[in-house]
Every structure is written in structure tokens, then in C-alpha cells.
Structure 1
């Protein structure tokens, strides 16, 4: 480039915006154009955010790139997003070396957001010495991070001692600054985490939380009471997963939820039931005092189970009328939810989103659409897949879609109806 070219005099702000639109290799090419562009290439604001995948079949290449970046620009990081997709038995040692080197090279960074998903320590990490080294790398790193606001290590599947060790490191350094804590599947499945004293002590280090993502097996009366004391006026949402294979038969009392609600009046609760369809398991968790906002339910496959799904819907309609979202994938061909679903919709006036994949009759779908068209319910999103329909039923369903689609689109409703067949056209 000629020294007197107009491109030499582009302001730094314009150059930075251009750099931010480019991938790394194009940034490098741009940086060698002239001294001025090379100077701007080193600007810290270009390297605040990073997305990296450390796993998969390219673990060696990915690791080399990650460590090279950390050495050159790691000190500037503030928002770090890591994934560990498809780790394999041979690649775990490579990933461990990458994590250790990478974290050492960014230890001077002042992270605001840390995210590492799908580490899956209980599945592919066969050697205990590798697990120990990874845990050691994390604990040393997090002990230095005192500015975190968002922490996410979902799907880590740590053992109880290892998970508590990492959580203690995070809490001791950033417990007063973290607002969003995601520890869904942070521990191995089938662990009654709430019973562990070390976990409770580590969890209570986090005294500024507004959003918590956690498993039901991590909660109990004592922990909710601790949150009520530590997070008064701060906690706004709990997203809680309940798996069929995890301990979920302990009960959080109405008093514990009532106390937490009184201390955190803006609190809402989102529940995700996975592989659970029995009302006898679901209803005791949905205590009336719990501030339920969303319910997501996948029943799993068990043809012989007497799920009594109608009892669950009637319970929601009676005790949780402020619910705003219900998502149900009900793999039960033996029970109809038709009338209970309509009853729930007419009673839960705040319902805005409904997702249903179940045995539901075409006339009931027509009735729900009519209620919406007449303003008797106020859904913003309505997705329904009706299973097990005959050819005649599918023709009737197509007619309903044709009849109501213009009305729904005119009102801005996210409207999709299907019979579940791959030939269906989704609107």
C-alpha cells in the first residue's frame, strides 16, 4: 500500500469495526498491509470474546490454535466460550494438555463470562490421573478469577469431590460477583448432591445470584433456606432439571418455597422433567407455593405406565395459574389429555406459549384455535403435533390449518400444526 494512500488514514474506530467482522486468518492478512493496521491489530478490544471447541477429531489442531491465541492475546479475554464436543478416549490426553496450557496462558485475563460445555468427565475420561490434572488446572485458574459474572459448566459430570473442589475455587474468588450460575449436570447423575455438606458450603459462597441453572438433586429445604438468607431481593429465576435417573423423590417443602418467595418476590421457577410422566412423581414437585413460570415435560417411553397426565394438567390449572409456558412431549398412546388441556388454557390466563406433541384430537385443536381467534386465550406461540391420526383426521387437521392460519399470522402468532408425518407442511 502506498504511504500516501487514503487507507492509511482510516480512524482506529473504523479499522476496529472492520477487524471485528473478520475471521482470524483474514485479520492476520489485514494486519500485514501497513504499520498502522498492524498497530490496530493488537488492540485489546479485538480479543475480548472467544469461541473455541477443544474436542472432536481435530483436537490436536484445535488445541494448537487455542494455545497460540492464549499466548498472543489471552490477557485481553473477558468472554470465553469453550465446548468439548465429541471427546474420545484417545483425545482426552490431548484435551487435558490443551486445557492446562491454555489456562496458564490466560491467567492474567479478567474474565467476566466463562462457559465450558460438555466436558463429560464420567464418560470418556478413563484415567484418574488425567481427571486429577484437569481439576487441578481449573481450580488454580479460578482461584485467580475475581471478576466473573457468569459461570457455566453444564454437562461436566464431575464426581462429588472434584465438582465441589471446582465450585469452591469459583466461589472463593468470584462468589460475590457472579450473577448467573449454570451447574446443570455439573455432577455425575444419580448423586444426591443436596446431601453433601461440602457442596452446601461451596454453594452458599455465591451471594449475588440472580439466575441459577441447576438439577433438582442439588436442591433441598436447607439450600432454599440458605438462598433466602443470602440472596434476599436478588434471585430472579431458577431453572431446574429433573431426570428420571436422578434422585428426585426427596421433597422440597411448601414452607421452604414460601420463605424463598417472600425474600425474593421477583423469583420465577422453570422446571424440566425428562423421562418422567407419572403424576405421582411430578405433582409433589409442583407444590402450590413454588413460583412456577414454565414447565417442560418429556415423559419417555413406557407403554405400561399409568401416568395420569390429566391429574398433572388439572394440578397446574388449579395451583399454577401464572404459568406462561407449557411444553409437553407425551409418548403415551393410552391416555387423552383433550379436555384437561382446554381447561388449563382457559384458567391459566397468563399462558403465552404452548408446545404439545401428544395424542390430541383434531376437534380439540379446533377448539383451542377458536378460543384464540375469539380472544378467550392469548397465546403468542402455539405449536402442536397430534400423533396417531387417521387419514380422515389428517385431512381435517389440514382444513383447520387453512382456516386459522391467516388469522394467526395477522395477529403475529407463531402458529404451527402437524400430524407428525414427515410429509406434513409446517407453517
Structure 2
């Protein structure tokens, strides 16, 4: 792929031979076809160019001066995704040159940038990643990229491949970017950075400063801090984060690790809402996403009264809870207390046959607490030694507003027929159903049985129902 910085120079001159080569590189075109492309309105060309990858866009820009001009339309370059691995490639442009070159030439159009990092396994790769990411952030500041949305995910700074120098350099680069970049960021995602407490608080302080320097018409409305702190940090015991959240009066969408949650944090969110109600409107905090994983701190108790108070003050609040490999019944009971405006629950529980845990209390007693609010439910269970068919059907039967159900579990095939019967007779809002039936036997025989069970229902499927079911060998 050619260097974007070289290709997109304004004073680029095209010869007739270059234009013809680019135009006919896939074979000769009829003259009338060429004329057809030439008379296309710019808006049509822009729509076509949106589907092209960088290499094809570069080649298209060489066709003629008109296409070169259209290719520099800002709407084609407002969104960008970079994936950093830190690896060296024998052929092709390096990660550093391609990303920094892109921002150098087209960063003035960039409004949404997503950066995903493949966590390094060695110190050498970590050092290369530091150079790549720091160079990108520095160039974004230099060109004053008008970013509205910025995402940097999966750094995982708690890995041993990052030494203290690497961590400090990356955090300092991020702070420099937040303090010196544009002041129009509305959405920030720092999911999976895994800072220690000191570095995390430094970054949060920079975010607060950026918010205070923004003009009244700009404010951070979406902030994703899931996995922001290391799993070894008990964040709920440190109240510094409460002060930080109170500095974000326009926040409507917040993502946190469950380790951050406490009664005090919910009170801080409630207090922030009351103070900013007049300035930013009534519907302030609308979505709260919580993520809980096995090796994070999740033993704290958050009382129902705190949830209830927050729900009253934020009547449009919707809570999403994702639980990954937490199968301790007492911990789940502490999380799923009454009063949470829970609209989405996702759980992965892949446990061994000798683990003393049953999903039945979750299905029978905990989740039915939210039968008036639950809309999205995803369950991935390895219940090979215990049937949960009846419990699952009863849960679907009582959840009045369920619209999306995804289940991966050991189930009887006949259960699918009963599930469809509930959908067709009672739960007409439930228009997305995806079921993966784990199996320890031959797939072909069960697949035939599945088709036989579904056959009487298929002719009654309403057009809005998106239904998918499969047999999946569980190894």
C-alpha cells in the first residue's frame, strides 16, 4: 500500500498514462461505461467510495482530478479504526508510518477514532507499542484533529511485559493528548487499560481538567471505564473516583467495573444529577454498564435503598450487568438486589462438573426480581449435570418486557418448541431468540430431531421474529 501522506498531497499531478493505467487496470472498459462514471454526481461517488479499503481508495484517487477531489471529501475520513500489534512486517508499511501518516494527511477530518491494542508478550514488543501509540497521540494533537469520539482499548498495563517506564510513558502520552488536544470530545472509551491506582487517578484528573476547560455547549456524555483499573485494585474503597464523577455534569452513559461500585458512588451519581439538572436537562444519567469478572473485587454490598434512590432521581436510567465466570451464589445474591433498574443481564458461567454451583437460584429467585424491567438476557451455561429447562421457560414466561434472548446451555430439544409456544402466545415483544444447545452426542441425529420439532412452528413465525437455533458439540 502506498504511503497516504504521499498520495494525498494537494499538488499531486496526474499524467494521461497514470490516469489510464488506474482506470483500466482491471481490463478495458467501454467508452460509454467511462462516460457513465464521469457523469455520476459527487454524492453518488462518495457513497461508492465509502465501501473501498484504503488501497482501493488510493488507486481510485489516481483515476482523474475529479475523483481525487471527491476522495478528499471530509465525510469519507471522519471515522477510523487502528489495530496495534507491535509486530514488524517484512512487507508493507509499518504500523507507525501508516497511522501517523494517515493522521498527518487526513487527521483534520477525523471525528471518530477507535484504537485496539493486542497486549504484548515481550518487553521488545511493548517498547514498540509505546512508540506507535505515543506517536499517534502526539500527531493528533499537532494537527488538532476534531475528534468527537475516542477509544483506546485492551492495553492491559498490569501485564509483566510492560515495565514501569512503558506504563509511565503511555499514561503521560494520554494525559498530554487529553490536555492539549481538541476540547470537543463527547465520547471516551478507555476499556481494559488496567492502570494501578496512582496512574488511574492521574488520568481521571486529566479528564476532569479537560471537562472544565470545555465550553458550555460541549461536555463528555459517554465514558467507558470498564477494566480501567487493575484487577488487584479495590477501587470501591477509594473515594477519589467519586469526586471525579461529580466533575462530569453532562454524563449520560457510564461504564464501570463492578469493583468501583459502592453505596457512596451511587450517592455521588445521584448528587451530580441533582446539581446538573437545570443546566443539562432532566434526563442526565441514562445508561450504567457494569462488568464483573472472577478475579476482580466483587464482595462489597451495595444496598437496595441506594439503587432505589438513584432510580427515583434518574427515572430513565437503564442498568446493564455483565458477569463473567462469577459463580459464587453469595456474590451473585449481593449483586442482584431489589431496586436495580436492570434492563440487560449477560452471564458466562463455564464451570467444571465438580464445582458446587447451580444456576437454578439465579433463574428462579434472582432474575425474576427484574421481571418488569429485563429486556435483554444472555446466558452461557455449562450445566451438563443439571437440567434447567423448566426454570428457563418459567423465567421467559414471567419477564414481561423481554425482547432479546440468547442462551447457550445443555437443553432438551423439545424445550425449543415450548419456548416458541410462549413467544407466539404470550411474549410478542420477544423478537430475537438465539439458542445454542450444547451436546455430548452425535450432532447429525440431534439436528434432525431439532428440525422435526421446529417444523410445526416455522409456518407461524411472524416476520419480525429473528429466530436461530443450532446443536453445538461441547468438548
TM-score (normalised: structure 1): 0.88
**Shift in Å, 1:349:** 1.5
**Shift in Å, 1:306:** 3.3
Partner residue, 2:460: 407
Instruction: Give deviations 1:2-53, integer Å, cap 9, x for gaps.
Output: 89x9899987656655654444344444545555655555554443322212
Partner residue, 1:78: 111
Equivalences for 1:369-380 in 2 at 5 Å? Answer: 369-375=420-426, 378-380=429-431
Partner residue, 1:57: 87
Which secondary structure does the structure 2 equivalent of 1:162 belong to?
helix
* Residues 39, 352 of structure 1: alpha-carbon distance in 2 compared, 3 angstrom cutoff: closer
Q: Which runs of 5+ in 1 are unaligned?
A: 423-427
RMSD: 2.9
**Shift in Å, 1:199:** 2.7
Greater CA drift, 154-163 or 395-404? 395-404
Alignment counterpart, residue 327 of structure 2, candidates 277, 280, 296: 277
Residues paired across the two proteins, number: 420
**Contact kept in structure 1, 2:192 and 2:227, CA below 8 Å:** yes
Partner residue, 2:129: 95
Instruction: Give deviations 1:281-337, integer Å, cap 9, x for gaps.
Output: 212211110001111111231323332422211224542112112211112333322
Q: Distance in 1 between matches of 2:416 and 2:48?
A: 51
Greater CA drift, 156-165 or 287-296? 156-165
**Contact kept in structure 2, 1:54 and 1:63, CA below 8 Å:** no
**Shift in Å, 1:418:** 2.9
2:106 equivalent to 1:69? no
**Shift in Å, 1:82:** 1.1
* Residues 254, 73 of structure 1: alpha-carbon distance in 2 compared, 3 angstrom cutoff: same
**Shift in Å, 1:249:** 0.9
2:77 equivalent to 1:47? yes
**Contact kept in structure 1, 2:86 and 2:126, CA below 8 Å:** no
**Shift in Å, 1:85:** 2.5
Equivalences for 1:224-263 in 2 at 5 Å? Answer: 224-232=266-274, 233-263=283-313
**Contact kept in structure 1, 2:119 and 2:156, CA below 8 Å:** no
Partner residue, 1:208: 250
Q: Distance in 2 between matches of 1:28 and 1:396?
A: 52
2:469 equivalent to 1:417? yes
* Residues 421, 250 of structure 1: alpha-carbon distance in 2 compared, 3 angstrom cutoff: same
* Residues 379, 28 of structure 1: alpha-carbon distance in 2 compared, 3 angstrom cutoff: closer
**Contact kept in structure 1, 2:96 and 2:135, CA below 8 Å:** no
Q: Distance in 2 between matches of 1:366 and 1:33?
A: 57
Alignment counterpart, residue 241 of structure 2, candidates 172, 181, 199: 199
* Residues 35, 405 of structure 1: alpha-carbon distance in 2 compared, 3 angstrom cutoff: closer
Partner residue, 1:158: 195
Instruction: Give deviations 1:368-390, integer Å, cap 9, x for gaps.
Output: 22222334664212222333566
* Residues 377, 311 of structure 1: alpha-carbon distance in 2 compared, 3 angstrom cutoff: farther
**Contact kept in structure 2, 1:87 and 1:124, CA below 8 Å:** no
**Contact kept in structure 2, 1:231 and 1:264, CA below 8 Å:** yes
Which secondary structure does the structure 2 equivalent of 1:284 belong to?
helix
* Residues 66, 124 of structure 1: alpha-carbon distance in 2 compared, 3 angstrom cutoff: farther
**Contact kept in structure 1, 2:245 and 2:268, CA below 8 Å:** no
Q: Which runs of 5+ in 2 are unaligned?
A: 1-14, 20-33, 213-217, 275-282
Partner residue, 2:450: 397
Which secondary structure does the structure 2 equivalent of 1:72 belong to?
helix
2:146 equivalent to 1:110? yes
Alignment counterpart, residue 176 of structure 2, candidates 110, 127, 140: 140
* Residues 336, 279 of structure 1: alpha-carbon distance in 2 compared, 3 angstrom cutoff: farther
Alignment counterpart, residue 348 of structure 1, candidates 399, 414, 429: 399
